[in-house]
Amino acid sequence: MRPAPTWWVLGAGALGRLFAIRLTTTLSLHLIGRRPDDSPLRYHAPSGEIHDVDVARTTLATLALHTHARPALVVLATKSHATLSAVEELAAHIDPQTPLLSLQNGFSIQPRLADIWAGPVLCASTTEGAYVEGNAGVVHAGTGTTWVGDIENTWPALARDCVYWLNLAGLSAYHDDAIVQRLWHKLAINAAINPLVARYRIRNGQLRDRPFRRMVDTVIDEIGPLLEGEGVTPPPAGWHTLVWEVIAAMANNRASMLQDVLAGRPTEREAILRPLLTAAERQRCAAPTLETLYHDTPS
């Protein structure tokens, strides 16, 4: 087995907690959040079992006081809109060449990170479904797949190494040398699910009921041609199957945007819907459903 590296996970939301709980079993892991908290993380497994897991936790504000080993990689699990400022704060504490792994939704932060960060920036597209429960809990509502690569495909060996550690930690992960396509596919999934479940305050699986089913299909009908107009290859089984398969697999999940709305936090409206509206403007296409979703979703 390879010697276990030190990784940091930045952001103690649902995905940050989930990745930290899994990774702490196989490598030296620190979870960096905003609020100080030393209690174990409570993991609600998809099977219904509950485990308390000790995870080393630190805050961004107190990082300077700690003498942790510097990380070999930092997983960015912050919200898309909070990522650049968090990385700026983090930069003072790590080697500027440290690889970053971006878990963010949408497709706007990833190219910006690649522009500003001196080291490698890997991007992940994950369909793991999780929501936070209380101050230290996370419900793993549906197991998914995580794809890892980088925009220019410059770091395949690093991406494969990262995939090795994710798999060892029990997350199903693969290297993808066309990660940009995969990020656009994930954006289609998020745009079809997140604004609707946030607006109607429902779990993903309820989208299969009337009248939501039709609404989802209408959104997908608008997104597919727009993305293809941007040069994105459609998923092998088509846009509708891509989205409906995730809805079925993550039926019990409270999507991230619903969690944000319920908690009164800013949403990822810009990261998820703005790239599609920009594509519509560029292609001079009407996108009335996406426009309505954008206006109905709090920022």
**Binding region for ligand KPL (CB under 6 A):** 105, 127, 129, 189-190, 193-194, 204, 246, 250, 253, 255-256
Q: Which is nearer to ligand KPL, 72 or 219 (CB)?
A: 219
C-beta of 158 vs 242, nearer to ligand KPL? 242
Q: Using CB atoms within 10 A of its CB, is residue 217 exposed (0-12), middle (13-18) or buried (19+)? A: middle
DSSP characters over 147-203: EEE-TTS--HHHHHHHHHHHHHTT--EEE-TTHHHHHHHHHHHHHHHHHHHHHHT--
| Smallest gap from residue 48 Cβ to ligand KPL (A) | 19
In the complex, the smallest distance separating the C-beta of residue 193 from ligand KPL, rounded to whole angstroms, is: 4
State the residue for tokens 């910006």: 112
Catalytic member of 81, 186, 254, 269 = 186
Backbone torsion region of residue 159, taken as left when φ is above 0, otherwise alpha when ψ lies between -120 and 50, otherwise beta: alpha
Give the sign of the dihedral formed by CA 135, CA 169, CA 143, CA 163.
positive
58 or 127: CB nearest ligand KPL: 127
Q: Is 186 a residue of the active site?
A: yes
Classify the phi-psi angles of 232: left when phi > 0, otherwise alpha if psi is within -120 to 50, otherwise beta: beta
Residue among 93 and 185 whose Cβ is closer to ligand KPL: 185
Report the alpha-carbon distance of residue 57 to residue 13 in Å, rounded: 13
Q: Which is nearer to ligand KPL, 30 or 79 (CB)?
A: 79
- Both structure tokens of 166: 């994710």
Catalytic residue annotation: 186
